[in-house]
Structure 1
């Protein structure tokens, strides 16, 4: 085992253990802090402009955090130090993981060890039958599928790879993990179109959009009927769909499923310039009540006050605005856009990469994470996946320019 794989092994295994230091940190994050001085070189910023832009975005975010916490809201040291530490950890993680996950073998080992970690470790959020598949089985399934897709695509078995993707998508829909199912399905569609040189015209886009909308609505009707009949899904899906005025309207399901978005919008409207600060508490329960309203639930004031409720967002992008105002949002939006540009380049030009379908899924997953996942994902999950995208982007660019990739990612491995 070389030093990079040893580092990957420690990083994944230590991400299951916490230590109290400026809030709770994973031991893997302490490993990143220790490793950063030995992996970063100043000329990396010149060699890899996107890495530089991402780090600049995080530094700008840190500046706006300080302005909001110290000058605008007068936050407590306990809260603002936790907020700042998360951004610093994210910055260091981008550097270390970018310099580590720089060849196909190491990337595959990272995916494999992440799967093993998910098998061994069960997060506290897995506390019901509903959450078991979504938060325990689905992450394991995702990593296992990445490894299978790599092997199938490498051997030229595109149809089998797409069949695996669609099958896993249907499995996730059946077991209450709709977001993962959507990502798998979109990944299959993109991989199919980009590997068959489908000429895209305005007429085809319109025709495909209409057909897709009709097929989606038909499939959605069958899905709702099956859930309400108890044939697929779990108690969470039945409860969620059962409280809708029109369960066959997918927009109503989206609204009740993403109620945090509306709560975050109200929080942004209340403090658009500087935000509410790091780890801002919803002391008046104003935004918590908005969540309950969209969930058609009544407020139990006594029970609600027994817990600490943070101002909700459930979105990396909106969370930045909620907590640190328009400046924080623009910094994270710029970071997001840098990743999107690299991902789109890979989708358009990377069909010869053996990791292509995996990269497509990782890219779609990153978009979903920025839009619909808690802000803490910026430090916990985004750096590793973005590092994989960035390394393959540079390998592909260097191959196009007929230059040797600096990190030697095998384009046709």
Structure 2
């Protein structure tokens, strides 16, 4: 009776327009989930602590209700189910080993479990995302990023290390600094999104200085998106033209400044070497091809086996596609081919590209359905009532789209659960009437 009374009071307070902080337990679970991503275990596949938290806690959470109430959850799970079916069919056709097939299927399965956990928790209190950011920043600041193993583990965290090798920033600093910046932006921008935009633009400049281009670009685009939301930009033709011209001029000016800065201050760094190899370093599209040259061979790999693909992990047995990439880019180097082809995989570094190369047309259809679902929700994000979370959710959404085109499938496990989960919760009022009653987990209600 007490639980029911509490729920009724919660619903009534919303009806009266009062602000409710929501239950506290989502903060605890999201903090554990965030901290868990700083540790991993080798069980045949790498299993992260955050996934263990999701697997252990999901049975005691109202996940069935979360699945029924959120239409976009069902749409995403439909895409994941189609993806698993595509993996099975492609691997049977190509005779892929059972272990390799299972490792590939683990991506949508574990990604789906983590997604359902995030939605089940944050649907009860969306601000639990802030606890996730804080715990992730703290845990990775102390323990590091397990995705990179022990790389730079012996190097002291100081300015000299950052200037000596900019990869140190991406491997050791970026994993904890990014969630910390997003947490600060959410807190400072809770009353004025322009304040959050200033924080993100400042972060963008710093990230470009330390050669973290992708994160720097996403910070910049996130800031521009927050500015558009603040001024209530509407996609009318006149506004699109004006905003497009202004954004293009501003973006290209920033890119020219970045190229000049790199040549002047870090020409021997990873990004400086990429710019040096380009015919026209001031052409940003050429930089995209230079940085993600896998896209130059993906069409050829798809054309040879368009229906069922090459099977999980797509072995490049004679290094043919790797050599092809080197020749097309004009940077042919036998030693480079030997090094990059050590595992013998067809070079794909794209979620959309790899699902077609690995799992055929059906796999690409699954990923396209996932992309459409994410795009549908993103178009409704400016109307989200969770204003305090907009800086973080906007950043996660834009970074997710980057992963679709320029990251391997593991992003579905490592990044998509939080990005999609918070996007679902932030836009749920746009996909149906939102129920106000809080559904506590079974360990709070005693199963009632």
Match of 1:411 in 2: none
Q: CA deviation at 1:306?
A: 7.9
Q: CA deviation at 1:289?
A: 1.9
1:228·1:238 contact (CA, 8 Å) conserved in 2?
yes
Which is further off, 355-364 or 41-50?
A: 41-50
Residue 129 of structure 2: which of 89, 104, 107 is its match?
107
Alignment of structure 1 residues 122-133 onto 2, 5 Å: 122-123=145-146, 124=148, 126=151, 129-133=165-169
Q: Secondary structure at the match of 2:342?
A: coil
Which whole-Å deviations, capped at 9, do the CAs of 1:380-407 have from their partners, x for residues lacking one? Answer: 2111221111112225656xx5752657
2:267·2:273 contact (CA, 8 Å) conserved in 1?
no
Residue 257 of structure 1: which of 263, 270, 291 is its match?
291
Q: Secondary structure at the match of 1:229?
A: helix
1:129·1:234 contact (CA, 8 Å) conserved in 2?
no
Matched residues in 2 for 1:133 and 1:149: separation? 20
Which whole-Å deviations, capped at 9, do the CAs of 1:253-288 have from their partners, x for residues lacking one? Answer: 111111022232222222111111112222211222
Alignment of structure 1 residues 166-205 onto 2, 5 Å: 166-198=201-233, 200-205=235-240
Which is further off, 324-333 or 26-35?
A: 26-35
Matched residues in 2 for 1:143 and 1:388: separation? 14
Q: Secondary structure at the match of 2:41?
A: strand
2:386·2:426 contact (CA, 8 Å) conserved in 1?
no
Matched, 1:32 2:54: yes
Match of 1:143 in 2: 179
Matched residues in 1 for 2:174 and 2:360: separation? 34
Residue 322 of structure 2: which of 283, 288, 310 is its match?
288
Residue 152 of structure 1: which of 161, 183, 188 is its match?
188
1:169·1:184 contact (CA, 8 Å) conserved in 2?
yes
Q: 1:257 to 1:303 in 2, by over 3 A?
A: closer
Which is further off, 221-230 or 40-49?
A: 40-49
Q: CA deviation at 1:39?
A: 2.8
Match of 1:119 in 2: 141
Matched residues in 2 for 1:338 and 1:344: separation? 10
Matched residues in 1 for 2:268 and 2:28: separation? 40
Matched residues in 2 for 1:166 and 1:233: separation? 24
Match of 1:86 in 2: 107
Q: CA deviation at 1:320?
A: 0.9
TM-score (norm 2): 0.81
Alignment of structure 1 residues 184-333 onto 2, 5 Å: 184-198=219-233, 200-230=235-265, 235-293=269-327, 294=329, 296-300=331-335, 303-304=338-339, 307-333=342-368
Match of 2:198 in 1: 163
Residue 95 of structure 1: which of 110, 113, 116 is its match?
116
Matched, 1:54 2:76: yes
Matched, 1:404 2:436: yes
Matched, 1:354 2:388: yes
Q: CA deviation at 1:236?
A: 0.8
Q: CA deviation at 1:225?
A: 2.2
Q: 1:396 to 1:355 in 2, by over 3 A?
A: farther
Which is further off, 276-285 or 1-10?
A: 1-10
Q: 1:86 to 1:359 in 2, by over 3 A?
A: closer
Number of equivalent positions:
402
Q: Secondary structure at the match of 1:284?
A: coil
Q: Secondary structure at the match of 1:309?
A: coil
1:317·1:370 contact (CA, 8 Å) conserved in 2?
yes
Matched residues in 2 for 1:388 and 1:352: separation? 10
1:22·1:81 contact (CA, 8 Å) conserved in 2?
no
Q: Which runs of 5+ in 2 are unaligned?
A: 1-22, 153-163, 441-448
